[in-house]
Amino acid sequence: MNIFAGFDKRPGELTRQQLEDCYYRVMNNPLDINMTRGLPSPAQLDLANSFLFLPGQSSFVSAHAVDWRNYGCLQGLPEVRKLVAEALLGLPADQIAVGENSSLALMHETLGYAFSHGLCTSPRPWGKEPLVKFLCPVPGYDRHFAMCEEFNIEMIPVPLLETGPDMDMIERLVASDPTIKGMWCVPKYSNPSGAVYCGETVARLARMPTAADDFVLFWDNAYAVHHLTDDEVQNQPIAQLCEEARHTDRYFIFASTSKIVLPGAGLAFIGSSTTNLTWWLNHRKCRTIGPDKVNQLRHLLFFRDDKGVSNHMKKHRSLLAPKFERLEVELSKGFNGVGQVSWTRPQGGYFVSLDLPQGCASRAVDLALRVGLALTQAGATHPKGLDPLDSNIRLAPTYLDLETLGVAAQVLVLCVLLSIAQQERTR
């Protein structure tokens, strides 16, 4: 399908009238396509079919000698911690704990303990502070921002560059403002731009002086092994660099297998310094008797070892990479010659970040919605859903099949071009 068929010009050269003609043509046969969230596709879910039969009649006996079917083992089975510790968190197994199914919930839980009791490094509970601020690289993940709102944390947007967040700005801010207690980081294949924090960025985050003694990095390693190319990017090890800089307790690392096995049915992990993890488990023991060890064993039997994890991720990649390629092809074709539009070409993760001329994003999203293409809400990539330039849209190509994705991308191009054309007319 080509929604621009019949024109002998590039889409970017079409007049507003021609774009509107295209648009009304689509409106007559509206779509029903949802690209709002980064969902794995049904084909990806099928990769975990055998996971659904596990653990079966397993004779597994954990080294820690507690029956995996019974209560106990707050930190999680050592065998499962060993399976993921290095690959997903870059930490030794004794510095991580296994949670339930959601890394987001572990972040929320950690913030909860920080507010009610303070971190190990805090002079007092964050809840007793007049003001707590977090640095928020933008474009970023809307659920991180929503959590800040929930905890009444003031968000300071920091531009996310190709090398990671703007470190000059960050160093300046944290050096002088003791109310800046933390920072969200998606260090690899960041949501939504796909940016990877370079070595220098990670090193500077680890060593920078901060006015707050209890400044902490919420290191959301959501896409640790979610590569799209042969170049399997590795971040510099934040834990080691923090330790070397004598900021041993500056980080909490989060990861999960939600986008490795099945969303919702995976395992979430938290890792940190020994001191921080002990602090965290001490609070957690008031909250739960222990995590779901049956699901832990399920993971162990499904993956066997870290090689099993990376092999499985190659299967995801073989399903995902063609989608990112297809999206890239459609955007390149559609925006050929349109200098005001740019987008990212991520080497991993789940998203592409699209930048439009100022003031065009929300109209483009609205236009798309009116013809049945639901995109992520404009502004969602910014704190409180407010993109001051109204220029950024997150694209989530993973769920759709290739054919549908192609249609969606063309309609997206159309809506963006029309949005720009309408804005030029109204100026």
Q: Which residues bind a copy of itself (CB under 8 A)?
A: 37, 39-40, 42, 45, 48-49, 52-58, 67, 69-72, 100-102, 104-105, 108, 112, 115-116, 127, 143, 146-147, 149-151, 258, 262-265, 283, 285-295
Comparison of 24 and 60: residue with beta carbon closer to a copy of itself: 60
Closest distance between a copy of itself and the C-beta of residue 301, in Å? 11
Comparison of 100 and 325: residue with beta carbon closer to a copy of itself: 100
Cα 159 to Cα 170, 177, 252, 382, 392: the distances in Å are 10, 18, 22, 10, 12
Q: What percentage of the chain's residues is helix, strand, coil (to nearest 5)?
A: 45, 15, 45
Comparison of 40 and 346: residue with beta carbon closer to a copy of itself: 40
Closest distance between a copy of itself and the C-beta of residue 71, in Å? 4
Comparison of 97 and 364: residue with beta carbon closer to a copy of itself: 97
Closest distance between a copy of itself and the C-beta of residue 75, in Å? 13
Cα 225 to Cα 85, 145, 311, 314: the distances in Å are 12, 24, 10, 9
Comparison of 98 and 253: residue with beta carbon closer to a copy of itself: 98
Q: Which residue pairs from 238-244 have beta carbons closer than 8 angstroms and sit at least 24 positions apart in sequence?
A: 238/90, 238/187, 238/202, 238/205, 238/206, 239/90, 239/91, 239/95, 239/271, 239/272, 239/273, 241/202, 241/203, 241/206, 241/207, 242/206, 242/217, 242/273, 243/273, 244/206, 244/207
Closest distance between a copy of itself and the C-beta of residue 144, in Å? 10
Cα angle, residue 388 at apex, residues 411 and 210 outer, rounded to 5°: 125
CA atoms within 13 A on the CB side of 277: 22
Comparison of 86 and 150: residue with beta carbon closer to a copy of itself: 150
What is the sign, positive or negative, of the torsion defined by CA atoms of 219, 93, 102, 192? positive
What is the spatial distance between Cα 374 and Cα 366, in angstroms, rounded to a whole number?
9
Comparison of 264 and 337: residue with beta carbon closer to a copy of itself: 264
82 and 93 Cβ atoms separated by less than 8 Å: yes
- Residue 196: what residue type? V
Task: Provide the 8-state DSSP code for 157.
Answer: E
Closest distance between a copy of itself and the C-beta of residue 37, in Å? 7
Closest distance between a copy of itself and the C-beta of residue 29, in Å? 23
What is the spatial distance between Cα 394 and Cα 186, in angstroms, rounded to a whole number?
15
Which neighbouring-strand residues pair with 256? 268
Closest distance between a copy of itself and the C-beta of residue 408, in Å? 18
Comparison of 16 and 108: residue with beta carbon closer to a copy of itself: 108
Closest distance between a copy of itself and the C-beta of residue 49, in Å? 7
